[in-house]
Amino acid sequence: MSQPARLAMLVSGSGSNLQAIIDACAAGRLPAQVVLVVSNRKDAYALVRATRAGIPTAYLPFKPYREAGRERAAYDADLAALVRAAAPDYVVLAGWLHSLSMAFLQHFPGRVVNLHPALPGEYPGLHAIERAYAAWRA
């Protein structure tokens, strides 16, 4: 029997996708274990969901980096170090509202899964499904 996949989840909002993954893991429908949840927003309800499930959480905002004049790559490198410490098999972007640079992605080649429904650049940000649908109907 193989070991369950270790998942680090990056979240920015309510955590409905996170909760679906937690539930699927608990029910045995997904052979995985969420080992870390990181948010860039302190008030993200996803952090509450993770805490209730006994999953370690971390809060890493970008604002202090920006205010100190540091580049995005510095933030992404620190984020990668935080995530690497949890030794995940996969990094899952579950509503993560920032694009990740190579300073992050290079540490997890072929192991980052984005649950966001839009193609990068096409309909980024919030309400991507609604905006993509509206464009299709137009």
Q: Which positions are catalytic? A: 116
Long-range pairs of 22-27 with CB within 8 A, sequence gap ≥ 24: 22/49, 22/50, 22/53, 22/55
DSSP state of 126: T
Q: In terms of C-beta density within 10 A (0-12 exposed, 13-18 middle, 19 or more buried), how is residue 39 classed?
A: buried
Q: How far apart are CA 15 and CA 9, in angstroms?
A: 10
Yes or no: say if 132 and 47 are a contact pair by the CB < 8 Å rule.
no
